[in-house]
């Protein structure tokens, strides 16, 4: 055998086998090569489900239409058809206001595979036997002879009984309005960059009360539009019996929260947003469910495994909630139908999937650290819930198929802190299929810096590393602070920066103190550098854009059931005598500048300067120059900045403008920066700028500015 043949055989033996189903993933990231077969196996789990659903259900979209068959539905002749899955029940009937809660009438027929069905004929006058918004339940005799009354899992409306009933358990209601809402507006197209405004309808009012869908539509949507956010992300929509759970202990998955109004009111909110060019995402909770039995999904048919894992595997100890069995056929029917229900019936434009880390791992992320070593995620022995990974793939398949069928753009975002590789690569490459993941390390970084470090100790290199450290070709949603930080017991950025004086020195009639001045300047700079360097999309939780001065505390026994802090004081931005307006105006200007000149959803930035003693950070992204001077005292004249492309640069965003609470130290009319053809900081040219302390600038080529104007 020749030496050449020996070398060829050696290469062949050393080259790992890469299945074609994941070859694109490996081409993008060769370090995934040792895990190619495991990646292919995980993909195959989901692909096999698609084959099964094609054979048995006519495809995943038809399968997800199950919500139209399950639960209670009015028919053309005003009869009402009800279908339910309760494999542990031996008999069942429908009870409610309509039949005076009698157990002997409206008996359901038991079908194969644990299903029960009934058709309730209309009244003699032709009207539906069950009036709109009247109470209903399914009453079941279980295999052990016991009898239980439960809320139907597919119910589309659930309400809390009046307080005089002394019963806090939610009640199922048959929703069949005489005048269903008719959508008027088309879904807006996918914008070039996502500016996401995360909001909770109930707290979106200055008054200490629960806000409504209608109030949000009237009062908050115009603010979202004015600020330049093109995407609204709604929390706490799926019905939850406990208000203070922030919507994360779901009891009725197909019912939108009745605290805020009716399903038709929510449809109007979404339709109005669409008419304003704002897309709407749903914060969907498929990672777990409330443990409630009387008004939840738990123990529905008397077993703990109807939709969930049985025993300890089906309980999340830290969240005190139930965990879905993603390998169960009817669980998949329930969850995938739930997604299509919100896409089709409410016209949501996508989902932010909550608790993805908990779903991905058998340990649910509890007590686990993630170093980034691929073995932690992709080894065949890694503690990964592969059925959950398969479900997430199927969920993204559903959204992709729906997008193609309806010719619209559906967006999916994963809340994952672990950094699971391939989470945000397309399914046809072997990835999980999400469009974005939340960059959850960014808010943690800013809190740690503000909590533990003096300004002069900020590490510019560490800030840049954390902001830019994300997987290649997997998009992230950047955000400077999370909704959790707004909760009582934690602090928002504005609170960390200014809480000592926010209640006394935010009036323009009082002297500007060093604390308030520092807070306003750093608040702007933190948000800008997070947006520009931290991801491919940007998210803000409502109120944070103007430095909301109070924490968020839902009514509970500990605060006397008070709504005083379960609100957002949008009235503050309308008061011309308060400094909150400066932060609001900057947030608006930042989004507007990004919309015009674009730096999100582009290739990652090139950081050319991280100077610790000067406290300077400089980077380029999409040919825009970002200059940050975090120094508390030092301003710099003729500071040399490396730039790649030659030409004349001008300022398109300046945090020091007076209308943003700055000090107007830069004459922008005279600020034109000419490149010198000399390499600087690894760039082909340089410019020299005046950059005051605690100021950030964004520059663009004059030729681009002229084209935009």
SS (H, E, C) 329-385: HHHHHHHHHHHHHHHHHCCCCEEEECCHHHHHECCCCCCCCCCCCCHHHHCCCCCEC
Q: Is residue 367 part of a domain?
A: no
Shared domain check, 701 and 635 = yes
Relative orientation angle of helices 386-406 and 36-57, to the nearest 10 degrees: 60
Report the alpha-carbon distance of residue 132 to residue 11 in Å, rounded: 72
pLDDT category at 7 given cuts 50, 70, 90 is very low
pLDDT category at 162 given cuts 50, 70, 90 is confident
Shared domain check, 170 and 83 = yes
Shared domain check, 148 and 70 = yes
Range with lowest mean pLDDT among 1-10, 497-506, 670-679: 1-10
Average pLDDT over residues 605-628: 98
Shared domain check, 252 and 151 = no
Q: What is the mean pLDDT of the chain?
A: 95
Query: Which domain CATH number covers 257?
Result: 3.30.750.90
Residue showing tokens 């608040």: 523
- Among 456, 611, 593, which residue's Cα sits nearest to residue 538? 593
- Select from 232, 254, 285 the last residue of a domain: 285
Average pLDDT over residues 374-392: 96
Shared domain check, 228 and 134 = no
pLDDT tens digits along 287-331: 999 999 999 999 999 999 999 999 999 999 999 999 999 999 999
Q: What pLDDT score was predicted for residue 14?
A: 58
Cβ–Cβ under 8 Å, residues 434 and 391 = no
**DSSP single-letter state for residue 487:** B
What pTM, to 2 d.p., does this model score? 0.96
47 assigned to active site: no
- Cα 639 to chain centroid distance, Å, stands at 40
- Among 336, 529, 515, 574, which residue's Cα sits nearest to residue 439? 529
pLDDT category at 6 given cuts 50, 70, 90 is very low
Report the alpha-carbon distance of residue 408 to residue 187 in Å, rounded: 7
Q: What pLDDT score was predicted for residue 116?
A: 98
pLDDT at 120 over 80: yes
pLDDT at 1 over 60: no
Which of the following is catalytic: 354, 387, 481, 587? 354
Q: What pLDDT score was predicted for residue 352?
A: 98
| Percent of the chain whose pLDDT exceeds 70 | 97
**DSSP single-letter state for residue 59:** S
Residue showing tokens 């017991």: 489
Shared domain check, 238 and 148 = no
Q: Cα angle at 21 between 20 and 24, to 5 degrees?
A: 80
Q: Is residue 182 part of a domain?
A: no
**DSSP single-letter state for residue 222:** H
- Among 281, 269, 251, 282, which residue's Cα sits nearest to residue 155? 251
Whether the CA torsion 601, 602, 604, 605 is positive or negative: it is: negative
Average pLDDT over residues 518-546: 98
- Select from 230, 263, 285 the last residue of a domain: 285
pLDDT category at 550 given cuts 50, 70, 90 is confident
Domain with 694 in it: 606-708
Q: What is the number of domains present in the chain?
A: 3
Question: Which structure tokens are listed for 134?
Answer: 């009247």
pLDDT at 10 over 80: no
- Select from 285, 316, 332 the last residue of a domain: 285
- Among 191, 192, 193, 198, which residue's Cα sits nearest to residue 479? 198
pLDDT at 2 over 50: no
Q: Is residue 670 part of a domain?
A: yes
Question: Which structure tokens are listed for 115?
Answer: 């299903």
Question: Which structure tokens are listed for 148?
Answer: 């239980």
Report the alpha-carbon distance of residue 348 to residue 234 in Å, rounded: 10
Question: Which neighbouring-strand residues pair with 107?
Answer: 93
Q: What are phi and psi of 93, to 5 degrees?
A: -145, 165
- Among 252, 262, 95, 239, which residue's Cα sits nearest to residue 177? 262
pLDDT tens digits along 402-413: 999 999 999 999
Q: What are phi and psi of 335, to 5 degrees?
A: -75, -45
Shared domain check, 168 and 106 = yes
Shared domain check, 204 and 144 = no
Helix H or strand E encompassing 593: helix 580-597
- SS3 (DSSP) at 602: coil
Shared domain check, 196 and 155 = no
pLDDT category at 499 given cuts 50, 70, 90 is confident
Q: Is residue 130 part of a domain?
A: yes
Radius of gyration in angstroms for the set of CA atoms belonging to the chain, rounded to a whole number: 28
* C-alpha dist (Å) from residue 293 to 149, 217, 259: 10, 34, 20
Q: Is residue 551 part of a domain?
A: no
Query: Which domain CATH number covers 121?
Result: 2.60.40.10
Report the alpha-carbon distance of residue 351 to residue 362 in Å, rounded: 23
Which of the following is catalytic: 283, 330, 415, 435? 415
Shared domain check, 238 and 166 = no
pLDDT tens digits along 227-244: 999 999 999 999 999 999
pLDDT at 9 over 60: no
Helix H or strand E encompassing 624: strand 624-629
* C-alpha dist (Å) from residue 676 to 391, 644, 666, 679, 688: 55, 11, 22, 9, 9
415 assigned to active site: yes
Q: Cα angle at 321 between 431 and 284, to 5 degrees?
A: 45
* C-alpha dist (Å) from residue 177 to 159, 183, 513: 15, 15, 57
Q: Is residue 647 part of a domain?
A: yes
Range with lowest mean pLDDT among 116-125, 166-175, 687-696: 166-175
Report the alpha-carbon distance of residue 538 to residue 533 in Å, rounded: 10
Could you tell me the end-to-end alpha-carbon distance of the chain, in angstroms, rounded to an integer? 71
Shared domain check, 166 and 214 = no
Q: Is residue 589 part of a domain?
A: no
**DSSP single-letter state for residue 217:** I
Q: What pLDDT score was predicted for residue 166?
A: 67
- SS3 (DSSP) at 507: strand
Whether the CA torsion 447, 285, 468, 644 is positive or negative: it is: negative
| Percent of the chain whose pLDDT exceeds 90 | 92
73: CB partners within 8 A, 6+ apart: 80, 81, 82
Q: What are phi and psi of 232, to 5 degrees?
A: -110, 130
Range with lowest mean pLDDT among 7-11, 440-444, 617-621: 7-11
Average pLDDT over residues 456-479: 96
Q: What pLDDT score was predicted for residue 34?
A: 95
pLDDT tens digits along 572-582: 999 999 999 99
Q: What pLDDT score was predicted for residue 3?
A: 45
Shared domain check, 164 and 107 = yes
Q: What pLDDT score was predicted for residue 164?
A: 67
Longest dimension (CA), the chain: 94
Question: Which structure tokens are listed for 396?
Answer: 């993204």
pLDDT at 220 over 60: yes
Q: Is residue 467 part of a domain?
A: no
Q: Where are the beta strands (DSSP E) in 532-572?
A: 537-541
Cβ–Cβ under 8 Å, residues 397 and 55 = no
Residue showing tokens 């060829």: 8
């Amino acid at each position: 055998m020749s030496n050449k043949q020996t070398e060829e055989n050696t290469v062949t033996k050393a080259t790992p086998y890469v299945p074609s189903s994941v070859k694109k993933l490996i081409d993008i990231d060769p370090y995934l090569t040792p895990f190619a077969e495991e990646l292919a196996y995980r993909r195959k789990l989901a692909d096999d489900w698609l084959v099964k659903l094609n054979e048995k259900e006519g495809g995943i979209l038809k399968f997800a239409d199950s919500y139209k068959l399950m639960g209670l539905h009015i028919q053309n002749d005003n009869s009402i058809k009800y279908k339910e899955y309760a494999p542990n029940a031996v008999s069942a009937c429908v009870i409610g206001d309509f039949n005076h809660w009698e157990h002997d009438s409206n008996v359901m027929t038991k079908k194969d595979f644990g299903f029960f069905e009934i058709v309730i004929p209309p009244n003699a006058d032709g009207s539906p036997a069950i009036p709109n918004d009247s109470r209903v339940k399914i009453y079941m005799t279980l295999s052990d002879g016991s009898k239980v009354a439960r809320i139907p899992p597919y119910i589309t409306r659930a309400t809390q009984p009046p307080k005089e009933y002394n019963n806090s358990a939610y009640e199922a209601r048959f929703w069949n309005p005489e005048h269903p809402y008719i959508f008027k507006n088309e879904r807006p197209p996918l914008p070039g960059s996502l500016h996401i405004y995360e909001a909770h309808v109930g707290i979106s009012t200055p008054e200490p009360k629960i806000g409504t869908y209608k109030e949000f539509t009237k009062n908050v949507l115009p603010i979202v539009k004015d600020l330049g956010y093109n995407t609204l992300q709604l929390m706490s929509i799926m019905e939850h019996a406990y208000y203070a759970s922030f919507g994360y202990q779901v009891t009725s998955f197909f019912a939108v929260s009745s605290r805020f109004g009716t399903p038709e009111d929510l449809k109007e909110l979404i339709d109005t947003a669409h008419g304003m060019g704002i897309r709407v995402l749903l914060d969907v909770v498929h990672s777990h469910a409330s443990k409630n039995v009387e008004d939840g999904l738990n123990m529905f048919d008397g077993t703990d495994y109807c939709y969930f894992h049985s025993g300890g595997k089906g309980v999340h100890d830290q969240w005190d909630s139930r965990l879905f069995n993603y390998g169960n056929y009817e669980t998949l029917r329930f969850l995938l139908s739930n997604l299509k229900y919100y896409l089709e019936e409410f016209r949501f434009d996508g989902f932010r999937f909550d608790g993805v880390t908990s779903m991905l791992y058998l340990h649910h992320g509890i007590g686990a650290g993630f170093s980034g070593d691929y073995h932690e995620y992709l080894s065949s022995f890694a503690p990964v819930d592969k059925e959950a990974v398969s479900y997430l793939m199927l969920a993204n398949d559903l959204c992709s198929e729906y997008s193609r069928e309806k010719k619209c753009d559906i967006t999916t975002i994963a809340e994952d802190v672990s950094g699971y590789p391939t989470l945000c690569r397309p399914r046809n490459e072997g990835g999980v299929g999400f469009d974005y993941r939340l960059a959850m390390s960014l808010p943690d970084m800013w809190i740690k810096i503000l909590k533990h470090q003096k300004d002069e100790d900020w590490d510019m290199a560490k800030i840049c590393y954390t902001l830019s450290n994300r997987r290649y070709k997997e998009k992230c949603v950047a955000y400077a602070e999370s909704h959790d930080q707004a909760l009582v017991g934690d602090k928002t950025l504005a609170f960390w920066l200014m809480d000592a004086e926010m209640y006394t020195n935010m009036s323009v009639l009082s002297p500007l103190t060093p604390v308030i001045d520092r807070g306003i300047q750093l608040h702007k700079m933190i948000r800008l550098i997070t947006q520009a360097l931290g991801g491919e999309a940007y998210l803000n939780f409502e109120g944070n854009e103007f430095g909301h001065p109070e924490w968020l505390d839902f009514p509970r026994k500990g605060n006397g059931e008070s709504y005083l802090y379960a609100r957002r004081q949008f009235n503050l931005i309308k008061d011309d005598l308060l400094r909150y307006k400066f932060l609001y105006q900057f947030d608006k200007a930042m989004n507007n500048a990004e919309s015009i000149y674009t730096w999100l959803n582009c290739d990652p930035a090139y950081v050319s300067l991280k100077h610790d003693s000067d406290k300077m950070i400089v980077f380029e992204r999409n040919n825009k120059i970002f200059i940050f001077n975090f120094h508390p005292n030092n301003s710099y004249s003729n500071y040399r900045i490396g730039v790649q492309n030659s030409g004349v640069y001008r300022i398109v965003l300046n945090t020091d403008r007076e209308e943003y609470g700055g000090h107007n130290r830069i004459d922008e009319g005279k600020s034109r920066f000419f490149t010198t053809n000399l390499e600087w900081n690894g760039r082909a040219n340089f410019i020299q700028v005046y950059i005051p302390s605690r100021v950030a600038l964004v520059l663009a080529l004059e030729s681009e500015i002229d084209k935009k104007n």
